[in-house]
Chains A and B, each alone.
Chain A
Amino acid sequence: MNFDPRYSGRNFTSVGTRPIRPDGVDKVTGRARYGADFNMAGQLVGRVLRSPHAHATIRKIDTSKAEKLPGVKAVITAADLPDLTDGDAAMYDILDNCMARKKALYDGHAVAAVAAVDARTARQALKLIEVDYEVLPHVTDVDEAMKHSAPVLNDTIFTEGVEEKPARPSNVTTRTQYGHGDIHKGFGQADYVVERSFKTEQTHQGYIEPHACVANVSSDGTADLWVCTQGHFVYRQHCAQLLGMEASKLRVTSSEIGGGFGGKTHVWAEPVALALSRKAGRPVKLVMTRDEVFRASGPTSATSIDVRIGASKDGTITAAEATLRYSCGPYAGMWAEIGAMTAFACYRLENVKTVGYEVLVNRPKTAAYRAPSAPMAAFAVESTVDELAKEIGIDPVEFRIRNAAQEGTRSSYGPVYGPIGIGPTLEAAKNHPHMKAPLGKNQGRGMACGFWFNFGGQTCTDLNIGMDGSVSLAVGTVDVGGSRASLSLVAAEELGIAYEQVKAVVADTSSLGYNDMTDGSRGTFSSSMATISAARNAIKILRERAAQTWDIPVEDVVWEKGHAIAKGEKYGNLAALSLREIAAASGKTGGPIAGHSELVADGAGVSFATHICDIEVDPETGATRVLRYTVVQDAGKAVHPTYVEGQYQGGAAQGIGWALNEEYIYGKDGRLQNPGFLDYRIPVCSDLPMIDTQILEIPNPNHPYGVRGVGETSIVPPLAAIANAVSNAAGVRMTHIPMSPPRILAAIEAERGG
């Protein structure tokens, strides 16, 4: 049956309510099983040896002593993970990141691994592995890495995206450009031009659950992998490809996941665990320590960004330009490109140009972190927008409203917008009581906007109706924050039954067709679309069964509020049949009733947010306190509003940490100095106020219920909103994130002195 994904207005019964999540009791009683909570009989403990050098050639690895240690069952190096990527450069990078081949490219890069009977033996074995390194010069700073004098990480890389192939290799892998119009003309029309440069430091997603998996390769060539991941189907593809297995022979089960935020979207140690298990002939459990999580799993980019914006006296932006340099770790990425696409996405611009540079550095491989790349670009742009508004002498909210993108605006990255929420979030912010609340001494208010694309992608879902009328929903998108509740609501809505009648589970890779991972805010958007489609397919069968029971044409049977109803005068005395009744009779009317759906969810619907915050700065110490924080964001349609609020609050809190505290600190030796929660300080309860939320619902025309992705946009505005608040409180423009007390103090003192 053809599925029509277009939005149609309706009155909701289940969607928009706030029931308790189906996986809740297990999670409050300690019964839910996360990555490290699963064990197999005879399982070994896997551990990874990591490079202490930021950049070094691996001359030789001698594992013989480790192999002889009693209790050691397998030792592997890159030789045990041969290159099977067949020219797939992105997969080769993932392979090299899992286990360094010729060179160690960052402090923490895996070089060997062991599997032993217990943790102590495994740790001892690591000490017995002898690695002969030739230490090379390194570079960790994004601007330094772009210089001609910088050590080159990969001499096969010549910058792409420039007109002529460069004469020599460099750390700049790619240049990308977006925009339209003529910025020279635009700046010519400007009465005011503001130009500023910004830096942001590298942060980590900071999920509380370290990467963990249990791998079991059997001698018949089949294998099982239990793992915490945002995408078990993707992990299956990766692992199968890297280990030379057929995907169907590898069954991947996603555990409950203790946070991902983008960091669990590609494999890190899972191929290593599988290779160890294959060699040892026993199951292997591999759990990263927190130190390993920081040193060797996905931080975000560090950036350096220049922004120039011009406007006429009446407050119309005439031209906007940005140059964005993003660190990628040692492997090419498209982080600066995403920054270049999102930088000016909130605005209606005639002349705009953004240029991105992807830069290799001796730091861990950059991974996605919630709306990856957008927060840094928004920080730079929204700070400059505030400065420009000040120059012109116009209220910063008013200035943004005047220049906000609308339906029909050609976005700075290309497409023309449909109905969007930037204007409404700005209007809501303007009218929010927070905007008018009084401020005290040393306190400042800031606001900023943010944009995120959202993704859809491949989705496969099964909906089975039991004989008792209960519904089991099997989805292939990992539940990272309550999506099983949302999807149960959607199934209940479409079928017209009670939420409690539906039970949603995340199925393993052998039980469903391929699903993209839960990223790009797609979990609820795409799986709800697939759930609606599957439910509609099931309803068709339910109607057929009712028609058969009544012996009337199926066209005369409609589905309303969980019942089949015979439509038309002539059927006046036929009592409606409930889903339960039809299900109970299914054994005699043609067997089980199910709805299946496989689709590519298109049109995820961009989303916008505006944040407001108040910050107090202590001018003597540079210390800050977040006094008040408000998030206004468009959700399209909030399926489970409590979890939507939770996404808004969580993103804001992560943004607050990024803005004020969190950063990777590298020593001169290129080693990470703060790989732990003591020195890499994420916000704790006492650092934050309540976080106010306001959900706007501007329906997404490409989803039957109007749903948009909601998970990521909330981390985009905070860096900028807080920077604007701190700058207003301290009386000096802050251009370097995080705005830690020493940086704020230095800025205040420079202002006083200069």
Chain B
Amino acid sequence: MAGVAVSTTINGDSIEYLCQPDETLLDVLRDRLGLTGAKEGCGTGDCGACSIILDDRLVCSCLVLGAEAEGRRVETIEGMAHGDTLHPLQQKFLEHAALQCGICTPGFLIAAKDLLAKNPDPTEEEIRFGLAGNLCRCTGYDKIVRAVQDAANVMKGA
């Protein structure tokens, strides 16, 4: 199969790559570009571990083809911190111990960032439903919800 040439923007950088027509964006990120922050928990759109933001929309990168990123803007967990300054969500996840094993964390952070971009002052229920596409098996979500609430407060103040 012939490769597809793709020009895209990832975390603000112009990136070009060749991929197979049937290759997912998740595989491109992980296997071709070395961006392994997005995880594959299922490959079927059910766990959210592969969450990224594509042109301001939260998507499961396991359900997007690498070729579809042509001309678009991709945001991954690797682009969330500014230099060595963590994003408030990242900081609050650490402070609240919103991660145990941490495999779900990149997906949750991306999903939470998208949630707060659309709704800067969410209720607990809005957070719970907003993050319902991401699975965490370790935490019972309690500390994740608290971390997002706390981050929302910090970001409102900023």
Interface residues of chain A, those whose CB is within 8 Å of chain B, are 18, 20-21, 23-25, 27-34, 36-37, 39, 120, 205-210, 256-259, 261, 287, 289-290, 480-482, 642-643, 645-647, 649-650, 652-654, 676-678, 682-686, 688, 690-691
A30's partner among B35, B47, B142 (CB-CB below 8 A) is: B35
Q: Is the CB of A21 within 8 A of B142?
A: no
Looking at the assembled complex, report how far the CB atom of A709 sits from the nearest CB atom of chain B, in whole angstroms: 16
B132 within 8 A of A: yes
A650-B137, A690-B142 known; 5 other A-B pairs, CB under 8 Å?
Answer: A20-B94, A25-B86, A30-B38, A37-B36, A290-B42
Interface of B is mostly: loop
CA distance A287 to B99 in the complex (A): 23
Q: Is the CB of B138 within 8 A of A650?
A: yes
B8 within 8 A of A: no
B2 within 8 A of A: no
5 residue pairs, one from A and one from B, having the closest CB atoms: A30-B37, A258-B103, A653-B140, A649-B140, A27-B102
CA distance A120 to B76 in the complex (A): 26
B80 within 8 A of A: yes
CA distance A480 to B102 in the complex (A): 9
Number of interface residues of B (CB under 8 A): 58
Q: Is the CB of A210 within 8 A of B76?
A: no
B53 within 8 A of A: no
B90 within 8 A of A: yes
A652's partner among B78, B106, B140 (CB-CB below 8 A) is: B140
Q: Is the CB of B132 within 8 A of A685?
A: yes
CA distance A678 to B132 in the complex (A): 13
Q: Is the CB of A686 within 8 A of B99?
A: no
Residue among B31, B105, B140 having the largest count of chain A Cβ atoms under 10 Å: B140
Q: Is the CB of B141 within 8 A of A481?
A: no
Q: Is the CB of A30 within 8 A of B137?
A: no
Residues of the B chain whose Cβ atoms lie less than 8 Å from the Cβ of A643: 97, 100
Q: Is the CB of A208 within 8 A of B36?
A: no
B61 within 8 A of A: no
B139 within 8 A of A: yes
Q: Is the CB of A28 within 8 A of B40?
A: no
Q: Is the CB of A481 within 8 A of B100?
A: yes
Q: Is the CB of A21 within 8 A of B39?
A: no
Instruction: With CB as the reference atom, state the residue of chain A lying closest to B76.
Output: A30
Looking at the assembled complex, report how far the CB atom of A51 sits from the nearest CB atom of chain B, in whole angstroms: 21
B55 within 8 A of A: no
B101's partner among A24, A258, A684 (CB-CB below 8 A) is: A258
Interface of A is mostly: loop
Residues of the A chain whose Cβ atoms lie less than 8 Å from the Cβ of B20: 120
Q: Is the CB of B36 within 8 A of A678?
A: no
B145's partner among A207, A259, A690 (CB-CB below 8 A) is: A690
Residue among A20, A36, A646, A654 having the largest count of chain B Cβ atoms under 10 Å: A646
CA distance A344 to B142 in the complex (A): 31
CA distance A34 to B46 in the complex (A): 20
Q: Is the CB of B46 within 8 A of A209?
A: no
CA distance A645 to B96 in the complex (A): 11
B109 within 8 A of A: yes
Instruction: With CB as the reference atom, state the residue of chain A lying closest to B136.
Output: A208
Q: Is the CB of A654 within 8 A of B97?
A: no
Q: Is the CB of A261 within 8 A of B137?
A: yes
Q: Is the CB of B137 within 8 A of A259?
A: yes
Residues of the A chain whose Cβ atoms lie less than 8 Å from the Cβ of B133: 684
Residues of the A chain whose Cβ atoms lie less than 8 Å from the Cβ of B141: 653, 683-685, 688
| Interchain Cβ contacts under 8 Å between A and B, 11 examples | A20-B94, A24-B99, A28-B109, A30-B36, A258-B103, A287-B40, A650-B139, A677-B41, A677-B135, A684-B141, A685-B144
Residues of the B chain whose Cβ atoms lie less than 8 Å from the Cβ of A258: 39, 41, 101-104
B18 within 8 A of A: no
Q: Is the CB of B41 within 8 A of A682?
A: no
Q: Is the CB of A34 within 8 A of B137?
A: no
Q: Is the CB of A259 within 8 A of B143?
A: no
Residues of the A chain whose Cβ atoms lie less than 8 Å from the Cβ of B22: 120
A208's partner among B90, B96, B103, B143 (CB-CB below 8 A) is: B103
Looking at the assembled complex, report how far the CB atom of B124 sits from the nearest CB atom of chain A, in whole angstroms: 8
Q: Is the CB of B44 within 8 A of A208?
A: no
Residues of the A chain whose Cβ atoms lie less than 8 Å from the Cβ of B77: 29-30
B100's partner among A210, A482, A688 (CB-CB below 8 A) is: A482
Q: Is the CB of A685 within 8 A of B145?
A: yes
Instruction: With CB as the reference atom, state the residue of chain A lying closest to B148.
Output: A685
Instruction: With CB as the reference atom, state the residue of chain B lying closest to A209.
Output: B103
Q: Is the CB of A206 within 8 A of B140?
A: no
B78's partner among A23, A30, A120, A682 (CB-CB below 8 A) is: A30
CA distance A26 to B140 in the complex (A): 22
Residue among A210, A480, A647, A684 having the largest count of chain B Cβ atoms under 10 Å: A684
Q: Is the CB of B137 within 8 A of A27?
A: no
B138's partner among A20, A29, A646 (CB-CB below 8 A) is: A646
Residues of the B chain whose Cβ atoms lie less than 8 Å from the Cβ of A20: 94-95
Instruction: With CB as the reference atom, state the residue of chain B lying closest to A647.
Output: B100
Instruction: With CB as the reference atom, state the residue of chain A lying closest to B141.
Output: A685
Residues of the B chain whose Cβ atoms lie less than 8 Å from the Cβ of A33: 36
Looking at the assembled complex, report how far the CB atom of B128 sits from the nearest CB atom of chain A, in whole angstroms: 4
Q: Is the CB of B41 within 8 A of A208?
A: yes
Q: Is the CB of A28 within 8 A of B49?
A: no
B97's partner among A257, A480, A642 (CB-CB below 8 A) is: A642
B129's partner among A29, A481, A482, A686 (CB-CB below 8 A) is: A686
CA distance A654 to B138 in the complex (A): 8
Q: Is the CB of B106 within 8 A of A685?
A: no
| Chain B, 64-88, CB within 8 A of any chain A CB | 76-78, 80-81, 86
B143's partner among A36, A287, A646 (CB-CB below 8 A) is: A646
Q: Assuming the A-B contacts A290-B43, A677-B42, are A29 and B80 also in contact, with contact meaning beta carbons closer than 8 angstroms in the complex? A: yes
Residue among B22, B36, B142 having the largest count of chain A Cβ atoms under 10 Å: B142
Instruction: With CB as the reference atom, state the residue of chain B lying closest to A206.
Output: B137
CA distance A8 to B143 in the complex (A): 33
Q: Is the CB of B137 within 8 A of A210?
A: no
B28 within 8 A of A: no
Residue among A20, A208, A480 having the largest count of chain B Cβ atoms under 10 Å: A208
B132's partner among A120, A645, A650, A684 (CB-CB below 8 A) is: A684
Q: Is the CB of A30 within 8 A of B104?
A: no
CA distance A29 to B39 in the complex (A): 12
Residues of the A chain whose Cβ atoms lie less than 8 Å from the Cβ of B102: 23, 27-28, 32, 256, 258
Q: Is the CB of B78 within 8 A of A34?
A: no
CA distance A109 to B87 in the complex (A): 45
CA distance A687 to B77 in the complex (A): 26
Q: Is the CB of A207 within 8 A of B137?
A: yes
B137's partner among A28, A654, A678 (CB-CB below 8 A) is: A654
Q: Assuming the A-B contacts A481-B100, A650-B140, are A28 and B43 also in contact, with contact meaning beta carbons closer than 8 angstroms in the complex? A: no
Instruction: With CB as the reference atom, state the residue of chain A lying closest to B138.
Output: A650
Residues of the A chain whose Cβ atoms lie less than 8 Å from the Cβ of B99: 24, 27-28
Q: Assuming the A-B contacts A482-B100, A646-B100, A685-B127, are A28 and B135 also in contact, with contact meaning beta carbons closer than 8 angstroms in the complex? A: no
